[in-house]
A and B are shown apart, each in its own frame.
Chain A
Amino acid sequence: MIFLLSAIFIAIIAYEAPALVRKKMWRELAAFGVLMIIGMIYSYGQVLDLPLPNPTEGIMYIFKPVSRYLEKILS
């Protein structure tokens, strides 16, 4: 699974990055790299079962009081 995933990522980078280098689009390349790294961390994290931060949980924690308040005034 890890090899398959790595092969996919190498293919994606080989597909996109050379054109960006050739056109000297360095900012685009940097943005591509940052997104790719985040994507790779979460993909490998899924395969290796790593406990990565889940954005949904943080959002639930922040907005639960608002949701409770809405429920209270509407019940």
Chain B
Amino acid sequence: MKVAMNPQRDGEIRVGFYICHCGHNIAAMVDCPAVARYAEKLPGVVLSRDYKYMCSDPGQELIQRDIREFGLNRVVVASCSPLLHEHTFRAATEAAGLNPFFFHMVNVREHNSWVHTDRHEATEKAKALARAAIARVAHHRALEVKKVPIHPDVLVVGGGIAGIHAALTLAKAGKKVYLVEREPSIGGHMAKFDKTFPTLDCAACILTPKMSEVGTHENITLWSYSEVTKVEGYVGNYTVTVRRKARYVNEDLCTGCQECISNCVYKEPKFPDRFNEGLGKRKPIFIPFPQATPQVVLIDPEVCLNFKRGQLTDKCKKTCVEACGDKKAIDFTQKEETREIRVGTIIVATGFKTFDASRIPQYGYGVFPNVYTALEVERLVNASGPTGGEVVLRDGSHPQAIGVIHCVGSRDNKTNRWCSRVCCMYSLKLAHLLKEHSHAEVYNFYIDMRTPGKSYEEFYDKLLTEGVHFIRGRVGEVTDWAMTPEEEGKLVIRVEDTLAGFVRRIPVDMVVLSTGLEPQADAQAVRRMFNMSCGSEGFFLERHPKLAPVNTFTDGVFLAGACQGPRDIPDTVAQAGAAAAEALVLIDKGFVEQEPNTAFVLEQECSGCKSCVPLCPYTAITFDEAKGKATINEALCKGCGTCVASCPSGSIVQHLFEDDEVFSEIAGILAPT
């Protein structure tokens, strides 16, 4: 992979220079023929051309013909960003029999014509950039692309609808999938929803078939109540450590008959039920919800009488064990386990959390019992929810008037600035369901009604005809100070009605806060574990917002669902399918090609100071204790150059960024015209 040709040693350098007009994109601001004429006179340049579209087939053929006819051994193209067409021109160079790394690209579009307004200055800048590239390319060496095989198994992290869909897609393609879910059951947020907008089909009815398919699919290993704790390796070869928490019930032996729950010494459910957002109660031994997958109960050692502060005491009568009988599924001595698996690709589908409504104290969540979050209301209107679908408030009353407040923790400089995308639609859905279940007057308080999606605007239209009231304005406060006798004992919503142009006070019995979507609380830890990036708001960052929306900056790690940003179910499913397809691309190809811009250590010069080891953001550097030298794993190195810059003895070198290449480029850009 090392020096094959040195300009000083291997004779004449013959550079071909090409500048692309990119239609008007470059030519409008840069005098391309002038740049071509200028480059022609530079040392080593054999020919110089300007052409309308270098990336077109004729443009590529031009390069190939010139290489053959004029004996070019270096090629420089000044056009757009290397992110777009570097591979195109490298391929063209290679097709003409030249090593692709004798090609170098100059960006005169994003870095020049698109951002400048003075044609003369922009042209001079293009000349300087061309000069630098021509000076640099003379020092290029032939490099080869390495191929690394891909392990065919896939890890999917998160068992919400995104993880479920991605896992099923891969499993159906014959790939082995590990699906790791933190909660005792898969299903995620979608399992808690009552209906889905805009079709109003029951969320459970469309989700649970997919859940049970996951549970029974031969290609899927489902590890619920488990968390990924460590990820090592690189694309194609990841080693992942998974912690399987103790549920005190043997998953293989439990049949989900739930006799243990009926026979628990607690006759009545007593503890807040997380699945029902704390609105319902459960026993110490429980199953999260009726359609839970896997259909396996678990024990909460914090409240089970057989434990004290999580420690086994064996002081309970253990009526559950009796009820379980010969199945012997209950195992109080179960310990958490650690498993290690090997996979080639990873799909991160860790989802979102909803905004904590108590962060906006003026809306009274946690102060007034009849102020609810939207997710609580999903459970309240659900037939299998804590009230069987009847809208009964925390104080036992039935509401006559309900206010739904949009954008709670969204589009707000004080909390989260982004639009959470789903709240307008789910607020409309809840307004419809609440009206249907309670016959109350329902008011929606919105800033802007955002309903972009198939049949979404039509759903909004339908709500308008159903008699739901819409008041445009961000709610100032939810309060209990009454101005009139009608307001006594009510929750008063104070809002500036920006259509009517005055401040209104709407007395209601129930308030629903349409909380926005946020990154998971541990998103930063997950980001570090999978070596991903986060945007400023904390959601995982895609490689490109438009053209690589499911890729991350780490090869082989893909994103699906709301961990990347707020989105609704259809978009989540589409993205999960896309992530699965991207993983399949790698798996079916069988290997990955690695850009050879990696760093390497000149062993004889390394002093063994280890300063580079902790600096590497990709953990590619290890220290060879035997030799007392640092070594770089080429498969892990991303070519960021951090170690090269930091090495005190200058003993780390990076391909394509060797000293003579970089310095000649600098000399070229600074040289007088």
Does chain A bind chain B?
Answer: no
Residues of B that sit less than 8 Å from A by CB: none
Residues of A that sit less than 8 Å from B by CB: none
